[in-house]
Structure 1
Amino acid sequence: MLQFVINNWYLFVALAVILFLLATGPISQQMYGIRNANAAQAIQLLNRENGVVVDVCEPKEFSAGHVPNAINLPLSSLKDQLRNLEKHKNKPIIVSCRSGNRSLKAAVILRKHGFATVYNLAGGLQAWERDNLPLEK
């Protein structure tokens, strides 16, 4: 076994890198206290707790369809536009994107900048659509 590892060290390095990349998202989510919210939970946050949806898609994607009343702040310029969210700092923020990957990165940024309660829309807009919920265009 040891000889196999020595002869194929590069495969084990690649495996370690892949495992690290896969673990980075959930670890940062746990570390910053970001919770996942499915579509039904997001609706409850919006209706009962006056939550706000922040869509981090690029404007072209956003115009193709988004959660109703969502605020579009693309991930690429989120840090520069945080002042647009200051009035919502103490409300639940539900961050969404197309699949849920970019929204997790954005949720970490929001938590780092003092937003109290941040949720990642689990499955993103694809899950929202799959549940036959309305889109705004």
Structure 2
Amino acid sequence: MNQHNCFSGKTFISSGFPNLTPRDAYEILSQGKAILLDVRDPAFVAFKQFDVPEVLTCHYKLLSEFIIHLPASRPLIIADAVGLFSNESTKMLIEVGFSKVANLAGGMVEWERDGLPVVTNINERLSGSCVCQLRPRERE
């Protein structure tokens, strides 16, 4: 099964590898046909998660060490906040021999914009006037 067939022909090629729209990814994930690999920073994952049956999390900087734990026989959809680090992660997985991978175009931002399900833990919300100042809010 090549990387295009395992995603029901729904991928489009960008940056030289398969990508999925959030809606197409959700359809595939909700049917149990793939696993979502969330490569966002743990602080962002703690606040908001993709609400799909099978999710693995690994910060993109640790992915090279985590590869041995990934199921090479299962299709993987790689996601992050906006699609930048998932792009790099998807490319790396393909380069080391994973053939059933696709990038989630637009990441969590587009996922939410499309109204797809997320699980939010309000106690893990971050605050700050810019990204460089983000920190956990005071907890009661």
Provide TM-score, normalisation by structure 2: 0.69
SS of residue matched to 1:80: helix
**Aligned match of 2:75:** 92
SS of residue matched to 1:66: strand
RMSD over aligned Cα atoms = 1.5
**Aligned match of 2:60:** 75
Q: Are the counterparts in 2 of residues 49 and 91 from structure 1 also a CA contact under 8 Å?
A: no
Identify the structure with the greater strand proportion: 2
SS of residue matched to 1:35: strand
SS of residue matched to 2:103: strand
SS of residue matched to 1:50: coil
SS of residue matched to 1:119: strand
CA distance in 1, matches of 2:116, 2:23: 9
Of 89, 114, 117, which residue of structure 2 is paired with 1:106? 89
Q: Cα deviations across residues 20-62 of structure 1 (Å, max 9, x unaligned)?
A: xxxxxx5xx31xxx21101111023224462010011111111
Identify the structure with the greater helix proportion: 1
Q: Are the counterparts in 2 of residues 92 and 117 from structure 1 also a CA contact under 8 Å?
A: yes
Q: Are the counterparts in 2 of residues 107 and 118 from structure 1 also a CA contact under 8 Å?
A: yes
Number of aligned positions between the proteins: 105
Aligned residues: percent identity? 26
SS of residue matched to 1:36: strand
Unaligned runs of 5+ in 2: 1-13, 121-140
Runs of 4+ in 1 over 3 A off after TM superposition: none
**Aligned match of 1:13:** none
Q: Are the counterparts in 1 of residues 18 and 102 from structure 2 also a CA contact under 8 Å?
A: yes
Provide TM-score, normalisation by structure 1: 0.70
**Aligned match of 2:110:** 127
